[in-house]
Structure 1
Amino acid sequence: MGTVSLLAAPDGAGEDARLIIAAVVGVAVIIAMITWLKLHPFLALSIGAVGVGIAAGLGSEDSVMAFVEGFGATMGSVGILIGFGAMFGKLLADSGGADRVVDTLVGHSGPRTLPWTMALVGAVIGLPMFFEIGLVLLMPVIILVSRRSGQPLMVIAIPTLAGLSAMHGLVPPHPGPLIAVAALDANLGLTLALGVLVAIPTVIVSGPLFGKLAARWADVPVPELYVTAEDREGAEAAAQRPRPGFAATICAILLPVVLMLGKALADVVAPDSEATAKTLLDFLGTPVVALGLAVLAGIALLGRGGGMDRRAIASSLESGLPPIAGILLIVGAGGGFKQVLIDTGIADVIAQFINGSAMPVLFLAWLVAVLIRVATGSATVATVTASGILAPVAAELPATHVSLMVLAIGAGSLFLSHVNDAGFWLVKEYLGVSVVQNLKTWTVMECIISVSGLAGVLALSVFI
C-alpha cells in the first residue's frame, strides 16, 4: 500500500525524503556544534531547530514559532517540575534528610548489592511518575550515594535511571503505557502483570549489569551538587546536628509518588466519575501540584525536622535555583527542537511508510514506535502515533497479544534518546557528562531497555 502511493506520487516521495534528510542532518549538525565548535547546547539546539524547520520546508517564520511553542510547552510542564525538584533537593540536602536516607541505603547495602538497591528504588519511585519528576526527586540521592559510597557515578546512576525509564515505558499505571492501553483497548490488569514480567529482566540487564560497563566508558567525577553538612564537616560533626527522622524524610519523598499513584488508580477504576473524591485526586495527582506539595511538605518535615529556622529554609530554597538555570534553558531548547520535528510531519511520513507492512505484528509495533521516537524525540508522540496505526490490527488479536502489543510499543518509545529529547539534556546536565559520554551511557542504556523489552515481549508471545 505504502509502495503504491509513493510510486503514484513522486513529488510526495521527494518531500518525504527531504524531511528525513533534514532531520538526520540537523541532528548531526547539532552534535557537531556542541562537540567540535564547543557551542553551548542551548545555542546549538536553537540554531539547529530553526535550521531543520527551514530545510524541511516548514518556512522560517513557522520554524521559529514551532521552536518557541515547544520551548514554552516544555517550560510549562518539565521546567516547573525541575524548579520544584531543585528546591526540594536542596532542602533535602541542607536539612540532613538526604544524609539520613543515604546513610541508611549505604549502611544496609554492600558494594555489590548497592546498584541493585538503587535499581529497585528507581523502579518504585518511577512507577506512577513521569520520568522527569522521578529524576529530579532521586538525583540528590544518586549523587550523594555515589559520593558517600565511593562507587563510580555510573554504577549508581545507571541502575536508578534504568528502573525509572523501564517503568516509564512498560508498566501501567504509568501514564505512558496507559495511553496505549486505552488506544488499543487492552486489558489493564493483564498488561500490568505482563509488564512487570518484562520489566524485571529488562531493568537487571540495562541497570546493574550495564552500569559496570558504563562506568568504564564514562569515568566521571561526582558532580558538585547537593553538598551536605556531612560532606562539608565530616560524619562526626554532622552527626551532632539535628536531622529529620528517616520516616519523615521518606514521607516527604514519597508524597508526590502516592498522590500521582492515587490519581492513576482513580483514572483506571472510575475514569468518567465526577465525584468530589475523584476530582480531588485528579487535582492533587497532577504532576505540578504533587511536586509543589512535596516542597511544602519538605519545609515542614525536612526543614523543621532538621532544626532550620525560617531564614535558613528560605535561603536553602533560593540557593537551589541558580545551579539549574542552564539546565532549564537546555531542556526547553530540546523541547523546541522536538516540536519543530513534529510540525514538519515526519511522524506521518513514517506512519505511511510502515502502513501495510507484512512484518510480524509485535515487531512492527515496536519498530513504528522506534522510528517515531528517534525522529521526534518524544516517547508520548511515539506511543500515541504507533497505537493509532496498530489499533485496527489489535482489534483482531487475542487479549494476551493486545497487551503484548502495548508493551512492544512502550519498549519502542524508549529507543535511542538523543539530542532531540529533553530528557537527554536533563540527564547530561545533572550528571555533568559530555554529549559523547551521555550517548555512550544514557543513550545506550535506553537502547538496551528497548531491545530487552522487545525480547521479553517476543519470548512471552511464544508461550501465551
Structure 2
Amino acid sequence: MDDLVLNWELDTAGLLIVAVSAVAVLLILIMAFKVHAFLALMITSIGTALAAGIAPASVLPALTFGFNSTLGNVMLLVALGAMLGRMIETSGGAQVLADKMIDLVGEKRAGFGLSLASLLMGFPIFFDAGLVVMMPIIYAVARRVGGSFLSIALPSAVAFSAMHIFAPPHPGPVAASGIVGADIGLVMLVGLVFAVIIWYLVGVLLAPRLGMRFDIPVPDILEGDKDEMGFSSSPRVPTIVGLLLLPLILILLNTGLNTIGSTRPDKDAFLADGVVSTLRLLGETPIALLITVIVSMFVLGWGAGKKGTLIEKVADSALGPICSVVLVTGAGGMFGGVLRVTGIGDAVADSLNNVGLPVIVAAYLIAQIVRLAQGSATVALTTAASLMAGVIAASDFSPLQVVAIVMAMSAGSVGFSHVNDSGFWLVSRFFGMDMKQTLATWTLIQGAMAIVGFILSYILYGIASAIG
C-alpha cells in the first residue's frame, strides 16, 4: 500500500511481538470468550494495525486491502459453486453419484475414491473453487457411509491443496518459476509427482486418522428446505459427471491456451486474438462456473420439467447459508492483509536471508516463516522466490536443482495454515469445525504437507547435485 501512513516504525523484533500477540488475542477471543470469528478477526485486525504504528486515518484502507481482495476472489467462486452444489444436491444427483461411487470402490474405500477424484479435479482448478464444487458429493458420500465425516472430507481437501501448491498451472509455482528462471515444464512434471506423493502420504494415510479424533456431523449448508423438495428428479450418473467435468474442461481450455501462448514468440498477439481471448474468457474460473450453473438449470431444472420459480428458489436458497463462510473467509484475508502491510513477513524474510543457510534450506524457511507471519501461501512463495532469485542467478545451479529449490519454497508456503489464512476459515466453515478442531486437524495436515514436501525437495536437490 503506497498511501499507508505510519505513526511509528517497529523493528523486526517489535513486528514479531505484534504478530504473535495478535494471534494470541484472536485465539482468546474466539476460544475463551466465544466471540464470533468474523467479529474477532475484525477487532484483532484493527488492534494489530494500531499496534504496528499504522495511523488511524490509514487503518480502514489497511483493513480493506486484505478483505476486498480476498472477498473478490472467494465470493464469486463460493457463490457460484454453492448454487451448482445446491442444484446437484436437491435434484438427488449428489446421492446418485455417491451411491455409484460407493458401488464401484466399496464403502471402506469411499474416502480414497473421493480424494482421488479431487486430485484429478485439482490439476486445473483452484483449491477453493474445487473444494466448493466437490462438497455436495463429499456430503452425500459421508451420509451414505456414516462414521467420521472428517475422515471422508479431509483427504479430498488435501488433494486439492497439494495440486494447488506444487503443480502449475496454479499461480504460486508458476510465479516462483518465472521469478527464479526455472524450467516451467520441468516444474510441472516434478510438481505433479510431488503432489501425488504428498496426497498419498498425508491425505490418504494421515488425514483420516486425524479426522477420527472428532465426531462432527455432516454439515447441512447445502441441504434444501421443504420448498425445494419438488426439485428432486434423480438424474443419471453421466449427467452429474458431465456437470462436474464441464468447468474443468473450460478451465483446461484457458490453461492450455495460456501455456501455448507462453511458448510462442508472438505471445501477446496470440493471446490478444479475438477467438483465443474469447475462449480464454470462457475458461476463467468464475465464468466457467457461471456457465455450468446455467447449464445445470437447464439440465436439472427446465429440462426435467421444473418451473422457473422453483429453479430460482433453489438457486437463491444456496446463497444464505454461505454468507458466514464468505464473510469469515474475507475477515481471515483482512487479518492476513494487515499483517502483510505492516511489513512483518518482509522483515523476517530479509533477516533470515542474511543468516547464510544452505540455499534450499533458506528458501524453505523463508517461505514457511512468511506463511506463518501473514497467511497467504502465494505471497509467501513469491516473497521467497524474489529473495532467492539473486542467489540462484549468481550460482551455478543445474535446471533440476533450481526446480528442487522451487519445490522447497512451495513446501514452505503451505505449512501450518492457521488463523491468518483465509483458506483455514474456508475449510473450518465448510467442514463444520470450530477453530480448535481446525487447528488440531487442518493446521497439522498442512504442516505435514510442508515437511514431506521439503524432504522430497531435499532428496531431489541431493540427486541433482550428485549427477551434476
State TM-score, norm by structure 2: 0.91
Equivalent residues in 2 for 1:161-310, closer than 5 Å: 161-227=157-223, 242-271=233-262, 272=267, 273=270, 274-304=272-302, 306-310=304-308
Find the counterpart in structure 1 of residue 4 from structure 2. Answer: none
Find the counterpart in structure 2 of residue 460 from structure 1. Answer: 460
- Distance apart, 1:184 and its partner CA: 1.6
- Does residue 137 of structure 1 match 2:128? no
Contact map agreement 2:148 2:214 (CA 8 A) in 1: no
- Distance apart, 1:305 and its partner CA: 5.1
Find the counterpart in structure 2 of residue 414 from structure 1. Answer: 414
Find the counterpart in structure 2 of residue 125 from structure 1. Answer: 121
- Does residue 358 of structure 1 match 2:349? no
Contact map agreement 1:144 1:226 (CA 8 A) in 2: no
Q: For 1:127-153, what per-residue CA distance to the aligned partner results, in whole angstroms no more than 9, with x for missing partners?
A: 112211011111111111111111311
The 10-residue stretch of structure 1 (251-260 or 163-172) with the greater mean CA deviation from structure 2: 251-260
Find the counterpart in structure 1 of residue 5 from structure 2. Answer: none
Q: Which amino acid aligns with 2:238?
A: A
Equivalent residues in 2 for 1:85-124, closer than 5 Å: 85-124=81-120
Q: For 1:375-406, what per-residue CA distance to the aligned partner results, in whole angstroms no more than 9, with x for missing partners?
A: 11101111111111111223331100111122
SS of residue matched to 2:212: helix
Q: Output the CA distance in 2 between the equivalents of 1:228 and 1:450.
A: 38
Q: For 1:230-254, what per-residue CA distance to the aligned partner results, in whole angstroms no more than 9, with x for missing partners?
A: xx99xxx99xx63222222122112
- Does residue 335 of structure 1 match 2:336? no
Q: Which amino acid aligns with 1:460?
A: L
SS of residue matched to 1:270: helix
Contact map agreement 1:173 1:261 (CA 8 A) in 2: no
* CA distance 1:21–1:110, shift in 2 (3 Å): same
Equivalent residues in 2 for 1:366-377, closer than 5 Å: 366-377=364-375
* CA distance 1:242–1:313, shift in 2 (3 Å): same
RMSD (Å) for aligned C-alpha atoms: 2.1
- Distance apart, 1:214 and its partner CA: 1.4
- Does residue 313 of structure 1 match 2:311? yes
Q: Which amino acid aligns with 1:283?
A: L
Contact map agreement 2:148 2:212 (CA 8 A) in 1: no
Q: Output the CA distance in 2 between the equivalents of 1:206 and 1:96.
A: 32
SS of residue matched to 2:182: coil
Q: Which runs of 5+ in 1 are unaligned?
A: 1-10
Q: For 1:10-40, what per-residue CA distance to the aligned partner results, in whole angstroms no more than 9, with x for missing partners?
A: x98x522111111111011111101110000
- Distance apart, 1:157 and its partner CA: 0.8
Q: Output the CA distance in 2 between the equivalents of 1:276 and 1:404.
A: 38
Q: Which runs of 5+ in 2 are unaligned?
A: 1-7
* CA distance 1:178–1:277, shift in 2 (3 Å): farther
The 10-residue stretch of structure 1 (109-118 or 22-31) with the greater mean CA deviation from structure 2: 109-118
Q: Output the CA distance in 1 between the equivalents of 2:212 and 2:92.
A: 32
SS of residue matched to 2:72: helix
Find the counterpart in structure 2 of residue 425 from structure 1. Answer: 425
- Distance apart, 1:462 and its partner CA: 2.5
Q: For 1:172-201, what per-residue CA distance to the aligned partner results, in whole angstroms no more than 9, with x for missing partners?
A: 122221111211221122112211222222
- Distance apart, 1:323 and its partner CA: 0.7
* CA distance 1:303–1:351, shift in 2 (3 Å): same
SS of residue matched to 2:400: helix
SS of residue matched to 1:108: helix
Between the two proteins, what is the percent identity of the paired residues? Answer: 35
Q: Output the CA distance in 2 between the equivalents of 1:135 and 1:116.
A: 15
- Distance apart, 1:306 and its partner CA: 4.7
- Distance apart, 1:344 and its partner CA: 0.3
SS of residue matched to 2:354: coil
Contact map agreement 2:417 2:446 (CA 8 A) in 1: yes
Find the counterpart in structure 2 of residue 324 from structure 1. Answer: 322
Q: Output the CA distance in 2 between the equivalents of 1:306 and 1:178.
A: 43
Q: Which amino acid aligns with 1:443?
A: T
* CA distance 1:206–1:305, shift in 2 (3 Å): farther
- Distance apart, 1:283 and its partner CA: 1.3
Q: Which amino acid aligns with 1:446?
A: Q
Contact map agreement 1:242 1:307 (CA 8 A) in 2: no
Q: Output the CA distance in 2 between the equivalents of 1:311 and 1:413.
A: 46
Q: Output the CA distance in 1 between the equivalents of 2:261 and 2:444.
A: 39
State TM-score, norm by structure 1: 0.91
Q: Which amino acid aligns with 1:216?
A: M
Find the counterpart in structure 2 of residue 390 from structure 1. Answer: 388
Q: Output the CA distance in 1 between the equivalents of 2:122 and 2:285.
A: 13
